[in-house]
Every structure is written in structure tokens, then in C-alpha cells.
């Protein structure tokens, strides 16, 4: 297998606290990879280290064999990595179509001024990509609606669509099922496995154990910032260290 993402002894200190402690792992191209752990385990901090929102104290992040440690969020995104957020970051006073166009702009690598005045070809490419993503996530009928008027579940798909509009090689999803009911989570599982089956590498952090155990090919488990397991779901489910980490937890 070929690695798309490599974490090498990744560590992040906040004062005297090791939020992420010497984490080393690899995500392979085409993999549907899960990151789990009890509350406070360091999962979101690790995602932020990978995507450039937080710089590591030490260690290295490599994407397609190239070190991206120290690169800006935008530089990393244009390398082919996009992500969603645990707390939704849609633009509520923009239409659904325009929200997705922001992602398409990033994919093409131009700013809005250049897109407007750079000729019809760029504008056409942005428009086509946006409509394609609207169709993929089932939001065609809401293209002209303000994002603020969408239901919570549809706003989740809007954020995923905007990330997909950047044509990533690696999509990082931060708790996409949070706030969803069982039927919505089952539909989300089908959607995620579908885009993965189309060849997209997906990294998923999620509290819903039924979801991650059901769709992920491999799981890394964090506890107190440290990696305590890295294996297929069936083995992680029976791992003594994992069971101990979750005892008394909310997950």
C-alpha cells in the first residue's frame, strides 16, 4: 500500500499538558480510516495538527511523501487535503450554491476577484464544480436557499460538499454524525462509503461507535494524547487497553 499521510512522532504541548503525545501512524491511499478515543483524548487537536490549524511542538506530518509541517492551512488545502469541522463553519447569509463555490474557488486556486474578472472559463469551471457537488450531496433543490435556512443535517452535507468541491485526495471529517438521529447516521454512512468507493481517502473522527466500527477499515485509538491501538475494528473492539480507556467514559 502507498501512504498518503504519515505522522511521525507528532507531539503538541499546551503549557505542561501533552494534548498529543508522540503519535506515529500512516493513512494509506484509498483507505477509510477512523480516529477514536474518549473525551479529551486529543482527537481534534491531532486533526488540527494534520490540517495546519495548530503547529506541532515536535514531530512531522507528511502528505504524499512531502513534509507539510509549518505550512499554512491554505497551502495544505491546495496540496489536496480538505476537512470539515465539529462546529459547522458554513456561511449562513450566503446561498447554498455560493457556499459550495467557495470550495470550488479553492480547488481552482484563484481568489474571487480573479474568478470574476479572469474570464468565462474559470467562472464556468467553478459553476460546474459547484452544481456537481450540489447533486452529489442531494442539495440541488436548495441551491438558492440561504445556508441559515437549511436543517442541521443538511448543513452538515453542505460543509462536506464545500470540502469536496476542492477536489481533495484526502477528506478529513470531524464528527460528521454529531446531532444526527439513527436514520440520518445510517444515510451518512452510505454516503461516506460511497465517496470512499469512488477512490477518495477518508479520515474520520467520530464518537458514534456503530458508525466507525461499521465502515472504517482501520482505527487508531487515542487516550490522554497517546496512541493505544492501531488495528482493524474487530481487533480494536477487543483490545484490553481500549476497553480500559473507555471504562467510565461517556462514549
Rounded Cα distance between 36 and 17, Å, is: 20
Please check whether residues 60 and 113 belong to one and the same domain.
Answer: no
Helices 96-108 and 120-136: angle between axes, nearest 10 degrees: 120
pLDDT attached to residue 104: 73
Do both 119 and 152 map to the same domain?
Answer: yes
Please report the pLDDT score of residue 251 as a whole number: 41
Give the pLDDT score at 67: 98
What is the number of structural domains in the chain? Answer: 2
State the residue range of the domain holding 142: 87-167
Q: Which one of 147, 167, 187 terminates a domain? A: 167
Dist. CA 61–CA 197, nearest whole Å:
25
Q: Which of 102, 122, 121 is nearest to 165 (CA)?
A: 102
Whether residues 76 and 197 fall in one domain: yes
pLDDT at 117: 53
pLDDT at 126: 83
Q: Which of 148, 167, 186 is the last residue of a domain?
A: 167
Same domain, residue pair 163 and 183: no
Residues 73 and 182 in one domain: yes
- Asked if residue 199 and residue 233 are part of one domain, the reply reads yes
Q: How many residues does the chain have?
A: 251
Question: Cα–Cα distance between 158 and 9 in angstroms, integer?
Answer: 34
Burial of 82 per CB tally in 10 Å (0-12, 13-18, 19+)? buried
Return the closest-CA partner of residue 2 out of 35, 38, 26.
Answer: 26
Q: Which of 151, 167, 183 is the last residue of a domain?
A: 167
* 175 and 63 belong to one structural domain: yes
Digit-by-digit pLDDT tens for the chain (251 residues) are 799 999 999 999 998 899 999 999 999 999 999 999 988 899 989 999 999 999 999 999 999 999 999 999 989 998 999 999 877 778 888 899 998 887 777 555 545 555 455 556 667 888 888 899 999 999 999 999 999 999 988 999 999 999 998 899 999 999 999 888 999 999 999 999 999 999 999 999 988 888 999 999 999 999 999 999 999 999 999 999 999 987 644 44
**H helix or E strand, kind and range, residue 96:** helix 96-108
In angstroms, rounded to a whole number, what is the distance separating the alpha carbons of residues 39 and 223?
Answer: 9
Amino acid at each position: 500500500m502507498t501512504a498518503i499521510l504519515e505522522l511521525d512522532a507528532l507531539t503538541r504541548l499546551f503549557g505542561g499538558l501533552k494534548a498529543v503525545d508522540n503519535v506515529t501512524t500512516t493513512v494509506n491511499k484509498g483507505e477509510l480510516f477512523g480516529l477514536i478515543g474518549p473525551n479529551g483524548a486529543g482527537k481534534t487537536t491531532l486533526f488540527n495538527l494534520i490540517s495546519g490549524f495548530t503547529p506541532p511542538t515536535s514531530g512531522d506530518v507528511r502528505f504524499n511523501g512531502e513534509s507539510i509541517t509549518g505550512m499554512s492551512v491554505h497551502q495544505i488545502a491546495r496540496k489536496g487535503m480538505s476537512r470539515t469541522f465539529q462546529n459547522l463553519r458554513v456561511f449562513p447569509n450566503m446561498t447554498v450554491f455560493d457556499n459550495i463555490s467557495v470550495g470550488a474557488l479553492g480547488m481552482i486556486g484563484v481568489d474571487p476577484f480573479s474568478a470574476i474578472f479572469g474570464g468565462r472559463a474559470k467562472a464556468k469551471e467553478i459553476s460546474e464544480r459547484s452544481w456537481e457537488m450540489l447533486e452529489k450531496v442531494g442539495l440541488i433543490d436548495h441551491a438558492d436557499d440561504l445556508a441559515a435556512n437549511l436543517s442541521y443535517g443538511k448543513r452538515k452535507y453542505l460543509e462536506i460538499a464545500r470540502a469536496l468541491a476542492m477536489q481533495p485526495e484526502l477528506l478529513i471529517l470531524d464528527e460528521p454524525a454529531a446531532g444526527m438521529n439513527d436514520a440520518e447516521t445510517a444515510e451518512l454512512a452510505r454516503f461516506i462509503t460511497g465517496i470512499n468507493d469512488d477512490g477518495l481517502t477518508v479520515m474520520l473522527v467520530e464518537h458514534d461507535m456503530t458508525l466507525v466500527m461499521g465502515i472504517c477499515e482501520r482505527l487508531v485509538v487515542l487516550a490522554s494524547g497517546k496512541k493505544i491501538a492501531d488495528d482493524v475494528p474487530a481487533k480494536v473492539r477487543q483490545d484490553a487497553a481500549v476497553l480500559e480507556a473507555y471504562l467510565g467514559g461517556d462514549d
